[in-house]
Amino acid sequence: MERILKLKDSLILYSGAHNIPIPTADEWLDLEKCVAILKPFEEITKELSSATATIASVIPLIYTLKNTLEAEKIKEDTSENFKLMVTKMFLSAADFRTLRIIKYIQKQLI
């Protein structure tokens, strides 16, 4: 997706010359937001895949992802389709066990 965004201008020129449909302005914006949302997932995946990763870093990283998704949902320039996609991403990423662990830790900290 990052590559598509880098080639956006070239794709627009090519599509104009060859009568090929391209994404609308809103779809380009959604693509940019998607890349921005997925970046923390990429970074966290790399961090947790490293040889020095610890179990203690999992919950803070889950909170980071959760906060990233929630922040995107409340932005004014976020389309309804993208908000729905973000909601689905969050729900699929946060399974029941993970939520139970987070709730348990929250109770212990309060």
How far apart (Å, rounded) are the C-alpha atoms in residues 58 and 78?
28
Range of the domain at 88: 24-109
pTM given for the model? 0.66
User: Is 20 in contact with 50 (CB distance < 8 Å)?
Assistant: no
Does the residue 81 lie in any domain?
yes
Give the count of domains, the chain. 1
Does the residue 13 lie in any domain?
no
Cα 52 to the center of its chain, rounded Å: 24
How far apart (Å, rounded) are the C-alpha atoms in residues 100 and 43?
24
Q: Per-residue pLDDT tens for 47-61? A: 888 888 888 888 888
User: Is 73 in contact with 87 (CB distance < 8 Å)?
Assistant: yes
Does the residue 52 lie in any domain?
yes
Does the residue 3 lie in any domain?
no
Q: Per-residue pLDDT tens for 15-53? A: 989 999 999 998 898 899 889 888 988 998 898 888 888
Amino acid at 94: A
